[in-house]
């Protein structure tokens, strides 16, 4: 066997005490190494080229030649070793011409009855000036979804705003129309909504329950936290109303678990306390947190020291997730649950999300946006509900998004889990939707390493947790 080149762009390893885990970057696969495999990986990290003779000299005293040869063959099969030098990942050279979307986001009203200090929506209006989507536009959106997503047996319709419940009559019209169309076509439909909860009533909750909406409530934690950022147009805190409405919702809603989405802003980094209040005191099934780092009002954005605090707090919650999982329970920390899902499924992404491929957002005028975050922005549009998807332009954008040459992503160990980060985050912070979210990179790599450790411990001690809580998570009756 001649010299073999070490491809450092294909593997990353995580040590957990006596355990040594290999993360295979191209496939997002995880492999627990035996003692010999771990020692050889450590050896490879210090060399550009190796030979069987050199390895036999280094490990001959502790490994039989047959075992050494088999380990090398395994590493060759994973492209960790090869006949030519490894190269950075330049991305995919693809032509994207088909857009079988399965999800449409309807921006049913730009008006909102709140005036949250950190809101990213560029088309947001006060209630009296809200621009409402018409039923004609909504109907054409559904027809477009059914036509372009004809290959799917199940479609998704998401209602967004502003505050979507300010246009409840339209929502009811869309639900009735979509259910009728899907019944005629033999398809199924899921409805979702993100709401600030202030407009919920028992009748509305019962309606949403009857149509099995997936609900996400926007709430930022205990009163002292929530009332600083989530305020009415007149400047009043909304915690008391939102908490009362949420308790009513959680008591009545039976069709699906209800989650809550938290936006973390400057001055509020105690994720553990926020999670405990929303999960344990109010009773939400899942709590997900999103750090604000690219909002237009920079005073509310988390800076590097606060991001560090946020991630440390998230790791504390991640350990609580692990402890619950070892007892067979999901503690509802959705950020950790998503990471466990990614590792369990061996997820590999060429694009950061489904925007433009599986999902498009329709604004109140009927224009097609990459996602709901871009409505009202200067980002180019990709068609409209009358003329359809601008497939050439959208394809060109997505093809550009798959390119990694010249970016940090080309050599990053988590490039196939992250794929560069949120388009809108990059657009808002760097003015370029293609830019990797560099302000997160080191923390995200650390977060994934932490997740690998937690995942492997759960896999070793209670693998049934994954079978129960992950393999069936996306299956709905």
Instruction: Copy the structure tokens of residue 417.
Output: 């889990």
- Whole-number pLDDT of residue 265: 83
CA distance 198 to 226: 13
Residue 420 has pLDDT above 50, yes or no: yes
- Whole-number pLDDT of residue 475: 37
Residue 268 has pLDDT above 50, yes or no: yes
Q: Following DSSP, what letter does each residue of 360-417 receive, concatenated? A: EEE-TTSBEESSGGGTTSSSPP-EETTTEE-HHHHHHHHHHHTB-TTSGGGG-TTHHH
Please provide the average confidence, as pLDDT, over all residues in the chain. Answer: 92
From edge to edge, which strands make up the β-sheet containing 11-16?
11-16, 19-24, 29-32
Q: Is 78 helix (H, G, I), strand (E, B) or coil?
A: coil
pLDDT (average), residues 60-77? 90
CA distances from 284 to 190, 195, 214, 218, 256 (A): 20, 14, 13, 11, 11
From edge to edge, which strands make up the β-sheet containing 368-369?
286-291, 259-264, 214-218, 188-195, 154-161, 103-109, 359-362, 368-369
Residue 295 has pLDDT above 70, yes or no: no
Give the pLDDT band of residue 269 (cuts 50, 70, 90): confident
Fold for the domain defined by 4-82: Outer Surface Protein A; domain 3 (3.90.930)
CA distance 317 to 310: 11
Q: Is 426 helix (H, G, I), strand (E, B) or coil?
A: helix
Residue 473 has pLDDT above 50, yes or no: no
Do 363 and 404 meet the contact criterion of CB atoms below 8 Å apart? Answer: no
> Left (φ > 0), alpha (ψ -120 to 50) or beta: where does 82 sit?
beta
- Whole-number pLDDT of residue 2: 77
Residue 431 has pLDDT above 80, yes or no: yes
- HSE-up of 375 (CA within 13 Å, CB side)? 28
- Whole-number pLDDT of residue 299: 55
Residue 354 has pLDDT above 80, yes or no: yes
CA distance 117 to 9: 42
Residue 212 has pLDDT above 70, yes or no: yes
Residue 293 has pLDDT above 90, yes or no: no
Do 10 and 26 meet the contact criterion of CB atoms below 8 Å apart? Answer: yes
- Whole-number pLDDT of residue 447: 96
Residue 369 has pLDDT above 90, yes or no: yes
Eight-class DSSP state of 216: E
pLDDT (average), residues 361-367? 96
Positive or negative, the CA dihedral 135, 137, 140, 146 is negative
CA distance 390 to 421: 24
Give the pLDDT band of residue 296 (cuts 50, 70, 90): low
Q: Is 462 helix (H, G, I), strand (E, B) or coil?
A: coil
Kindly state the percentage of the chain with pLDDT values over 70: 97
- Whole-number pLDDT of residue 471: 60
- Whole-number pLDDT of residue 477: 36
Helices marked H in 149-270 — which ranges? 168-185, 202-210, 223-229, 239-252
Residue 13 has pLDDT above 60, yes or no: yes
Q: What is the pTM of this model?
A: 0.92
Kindly state the percentage of the chain with pLDDT values over 90: 79
pLDDT (average), residues 366-381? 93
Q: What is the pLDDT of residues 309-339, one digit of tens each?
A: 999 999 999 999 999 999 999 999 999 999 9
Residue 297 has pLDDT above 60, yes or no: no
Residue 476 has pLDDT above 50, yes or no: no
CA distances from 319 to 258, 333, 337, 418 (A): 23, 10, 12, 22
* Phi then psi dihedrals of residue 217, to 5 deg: -100, 135
């Amino acid at each position: 066997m001649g010299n073999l080149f070490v491809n450092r762009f294909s593997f990353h390893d995580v040590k957990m005490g006596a355990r040594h885990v290999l993360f295979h970057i191209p496939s997002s696969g995880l492999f627990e190494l035996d003692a010999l495999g771990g020692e050889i990986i450590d050896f490879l990290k210090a060399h550009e080229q190796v030979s069987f003779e050199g390895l036999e000299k280094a490990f001959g005293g502790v490994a039989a030649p047959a075992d050494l040869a088999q380990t090398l063959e395994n590493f060759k099969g994973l492209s960790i070793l090869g006949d030519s030098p490894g190269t950075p990942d330049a991305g995919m050279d693809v032509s994207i011409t088909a857009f079988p979307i399965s999800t449409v986001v309807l921006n049913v009203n730009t008006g909102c009855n709140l005036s949250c200090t950190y809101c990213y929506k560029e088309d947001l209006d006060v209630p009296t000036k809200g621009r409402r989507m018409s039923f004609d536009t909504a109907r054409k959106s559904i027809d477009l979804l059914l036509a372009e997503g004809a290959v799917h047996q199940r479609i998704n319709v998401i209602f967004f705003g502003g505050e979507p419940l300010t246009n409840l009559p339209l929502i009811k019209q869309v639900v009735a129309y979509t259910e009728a169309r899907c019944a005629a076509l033999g398809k199924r439909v899921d409805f979702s909504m993100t709401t600030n909860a202030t407009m919920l009533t028992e009748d509305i909750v019962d309606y949403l329950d009857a149509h099995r909406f997936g609900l996400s409530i926007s709430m930022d934690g205990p009163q002292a936290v929530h009332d600083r950022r989530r305020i009415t147009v007149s400047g009043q805190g909304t915690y008391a109303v939102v908490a009362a409405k949420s308790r009513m919702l959680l008591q009545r809603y039976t069709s699906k678990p209800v989650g809550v989405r938290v936006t973390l802003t400057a001055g509020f980094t105690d994720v553990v306390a926020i999670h405990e209040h929303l999960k344990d005191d109010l009773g939400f099934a899942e709590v997900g947190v999103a750090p604000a780092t690219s909002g237009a009002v920079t005073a509310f954005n988390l800076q590097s020291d606060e991001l560090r605090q946020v991630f440390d707090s998230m790791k504390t919650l991640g350990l609580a997730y692990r402890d619950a999982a070892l007892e067979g329970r999901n503690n509802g920390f959705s950020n950790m649950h998503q990471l466990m899902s990614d590792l369990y499924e061996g997820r590999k992404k060429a694009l950061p999300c489904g925007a433009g491929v599986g999902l498009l957002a329709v604004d109140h005028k009927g224009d097609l946006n990459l996602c709901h975050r871009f409505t009202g922005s200067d980002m180019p549009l990709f068609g409209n509900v009358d003329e359809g998807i601008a497939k050439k332009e959208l394809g060109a954008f997505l093809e550009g998004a798959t390119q990694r040459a010249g970016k940090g992503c080309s050599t990053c160990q988590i490039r196939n889990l992250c794929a560069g980060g949120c388009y809108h985050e990059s657009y808002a912070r760097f003015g370029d939707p293609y830019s990797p979210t560099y302000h997160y990179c080191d923390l995200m790599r650390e977060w994934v390493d932490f997740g690998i450790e937690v995942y492997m411990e759960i896999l070793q001690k209670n693998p049934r947790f994954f079978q129960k809580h992950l393999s069936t998570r996306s299956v709905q009756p």
